[in-house]
Amino acid sequence: MTRPAKSEASTDHALLLVNISQLLTLRTSSGNSGPRRGKDLQELGIIKDGAVLSVGKKIVSACKTRDALRDPWIRKNRKKIVELDCAGQVVLPGFVDSHTHPVFIEPRLVDFEKRIAGATYEQIAEAGGGIRSSVEGVRKAGKKLLTDKVLSALHEMAEQGTATVEAKSGYGLTLDSEIKSLEAIRGAAVKWPGTVIATLLGAHVVPREFHGRAHEYVDIVCKQMVPLVAERKLAQFVDVFTDRGAFTAEDTEKIFDAAKKHGLGVRAHVCQLSETALRPLLRFNVASFDHMDHVSETDIRLLTKSETVATLVPGANYFLGTDNFPPARKLIESGVAVALATDYNPGSSPTASMPFVLSLACTHLKMSPAEAIAAATVNGAWALRLQERKGSIESGKDADLAVFDVADYREIAYWVASNRCAFSVLNGLMPGARSH
Ligand code: NIG
Ligand code: FE
């Protein structure tokens, strides 16, 4: 049992979960560093009849309940510690949802119906729907309304076990509206106890008024958006939709150059609709390549040697009704680090539920429940470069826990479209606990 460090020795916000049927620490015994690859992705570091102690925002220890209850510090302070009996429950690290687009106003119901009638995502976009049709709402909206929308999405995520969220702008597509979107993310983040990582996605699509003048819009992203966002510290990452109908690899290199120049990390939407050549982008130390449905064999081989995470978002494949899914098995077996995320957005993936994404990963990507959990926690943390703080239950990491009313961790992916999350602990706090 690890003692609280001197700075944490106060019992303020001390929380002890005991009798946990399965405590999934996600600790690894392989000794391999870096994101989880291959067989290491199956390792959940399970402690049966486990206990977790957190003090303040940090985890102090994860061990057997009997060892926790024998610990002198816990015995001495037991009356002051909030103690929860988690008999019959599974506890795992709070999910890291490393890809979401929560700054939008309306659902896209017309697109939804058109797809049901047979139109594809690209056909709808070409006919004036798609991403561009979410732009007007965001441009017109006040910051307060956008902030409320983001905050309600964050709460919905936490109710389903998510503790860390990457949130992108990308439906403003003007300097002012992208800044307003990022300010809404910041405004929501300060009201939510979990952790939010903001990303500028000014290069989501070329806005209507720049039709045929993409290079001019790319210039605005590089010369106006990126510098101002960096100066105001409104985002940690810059993302680009590098695919057919959006931006080219050359545009992306320009935008990544600007991002690097201003000290921002980079990530990209790639290979969703067509193959994107990844090699020219790798020199930017890309945090993650997301979607990856059409990734080539050559690029898979390149990624096995890099710390760039392949983030799969099967909610988008499901909701767009595509037959094609990203080649998760090939990626994992080749040694690429794979993460899972919701891609929460109004066009292709209107779900805030990581358990649902885990379910899809098992049924459609043929990932095992254990692999899906590791991809949604520890590798999600790597995808956001938060691996030192997030993704596993270990002494010194942030106290982010998801408590599920299930006897076996495999049930988290098994019960489709049913929320078995009892409550989440976000940075040591327990907002809106449904039980206990
Ligand atoms: O990740 N592909 C680009 N962006 C989003 C979709 C956004 C939208 O359709 O509104 C995605 O799927
Ligand atoms: Fe996306």
In order of start, what are the domains of the chain with their CATH numbers?
6-94+392-425 (2.30.40.10), 95-383 (3.20.20.140)
Q: What is the pLDDT of residue 31?
A: 85
Pocket test for ligand 1, best of 243, 343, 351, 357 (most atoms within 8 A of CB): 343
Q: What atom in ligand 1 is closest to the CA of residue 130? A: 9
Task: Give rounded-to-5 percent helix, strand, coil for the chain.
Answer: 40, 20, 40
Q: Does any ligand 1 atom lie closer than 6 A to the CB of residue 241?
A: yes
pLDDT tens digits for 45-101? 999 999 999 999 999 999 999 999 999 999 999 999 999 999 999 999 999 999 999
Q: Tell how far the Cα of 99 is from the centroid of ligand 2, in angstroms.
A: 6
Q: Does any ligand 1 atom lie closer than 6 A to the CB of residue 316?
A: yes
Q: Using CA atoms, how far apart are residues 431 and 194, in angstroms rounded to an integer?
A: 10
Residue pair 43/28 in contact (Cβ under 8 Å)? The answer is: yes
Phi-psi map region of 112: left, alpha, beta (phi>0 left; psi -120 to 50 alpha): alpha
Q: What atom in ligand 1 is closest to the CA of residue 171? A: 10
**Which ligand approaches the C-alpha of residue 137 most closely?**
1
Q: Which residues of the chain have pLDDT under 70?
A: 1-11, 432-436
pLDDT tens digits for 313-357? 999 999 999 989 999 999 999 999 999 999 999 999 999 999 999
Q: Tell how far the Cα of 343 is from the centroid of ligand 2, in angstroms.
A: 5
Residue pair 181/234 in contact (Cβ under 8 Å)? The answer is: no
For residue 18, list its beta bridge partners.
85
Pocket test for ligand 1, best of 348, 349, 351 (most atoms within 8 A of CB): 348
Residue 136: strand, helix, or coil: helix
Q: What is the pLDDT of residue 435?
A: 42
Q: Using CA atoms, how far apart are residues 184 and 188, in angstroms rounded to an integer?
A: 6
For residue 59, list its beta bridge partners.
54
The burial class, CB within 10 Å (0-12 / 13-18 / 19+), for 45 is middle
Query: Which residue's CA is the closest to the ligand 1 atom numbered 8?
Result: 347
Q: Which among 116, 128, 68, 166 is positioned nearest to 395, based on CA atoms?
A: 68
Distances (CA, A) of 173 to 200, 251, 304, 386: 10, 16, 34, 28
Residue 57: strand, helix, or coil: coil
Residues with CB under 5 A from ligand 2 (ion): 343
pTM of the model: 0.97
Q: Tell how far the Cα of 346 is from the centroid of ligand 1, in angstroms.
A: 8
